[in-house]
Chains A and B, each alone.
Chain A
Amino acid sequence: KAGVTQTPRYLIKTRGQQVTLSCSPISGHRSVSWYQQTPGQGLQFLFEYFSETQRNKGNFPGRFSGRQFSNSRSEMNVSTLELGDSALYLCASSVKTGIRDTGELFFGEGSRLTVL
């Protein structure tokens, strides 16, 4: 079974630009979560999508947005990039089985964004 796939793995942008990151979850997984990882702040939750609906959102400005498609693939977008947006963006998928949901996540390898 293929794992979570994120593209691109590395990218460099300049301040003010926007970026779109893509995530393909494990087959059968309907939930996709996004995390930002930085040396200073650690792992911070961005948002979670389930069945094309954003079900949960972290404490990030509106420049950070996402969506999920009917095939469960997800994209996240960051507009008007700032230097502080440089980070590893991790996507994770999970099965989400209602009352048996444990929160366990399966992570991709991440997209490393550098903002110059």
Chain B
Amino acid sequence: AQSVTQLDSQVPVFEEAPVELRCNYSSSVSVYLFWYVQYPNQGLQLLLKYLSGSTLVESINGFEAEFNKSQTSFHLRKPSVHISDTAEYFCAVSVKSGQGAQKLVFGQGTRLTINP
């Protein structure tokens, strides 16, 4: 079964420092990959996605992720974080499920805490 592993459950960093949140997936077929962000007491919001084409994808708020097929990874990076980036981040892979549908399988999440 396809799965997603987020290697760090918590990542504390100082404001304006760079950060990398790691994500590895297991899949033997072509995949669609996603990063979602969850702010306190809210639902999940799509941060960025890899569907095809360029392996480097970017979000509007400065995050980027690189799809690495050989290492089955989709790590999330930001060169300089802000206090407002404090949230929980989820990596997800889309898998084929019954009746031709796609289903998202999520990692356990990484809590990013930004310290001033």
Contact = CB atoms under 8 A, between A and B. Distances in A.
Interface of A: 4, 6, 31, 33, 35, 42-43, 45, 48, 50, 55-56, 90, 92, 96, 98, 101-110
A104 B93 CA distance: 10
Nearest to A58: B103
17 contacts: A31-B101, A42-B106, A42-B108, A42-B109, A45-B103, A56-B97, A90-B44, A101-B100, A103-B32, A103-B34, A103-B94, A103-B102, A103-B103, A104-B34, A107-B44, A109-B43, A110-B43
A109 B42 contact: yes
Interface in B77-110: 90, 94-95, 97-109
B45 interface: yes
Contact of B32 (A45, A50, A102): A102
Nearest to A102: B32
Contacts of B99: 55-56
A43 B90 contact: yes
Contacts of B41: 109
Interface string B15-53: 000000000000000001010100001111110010100
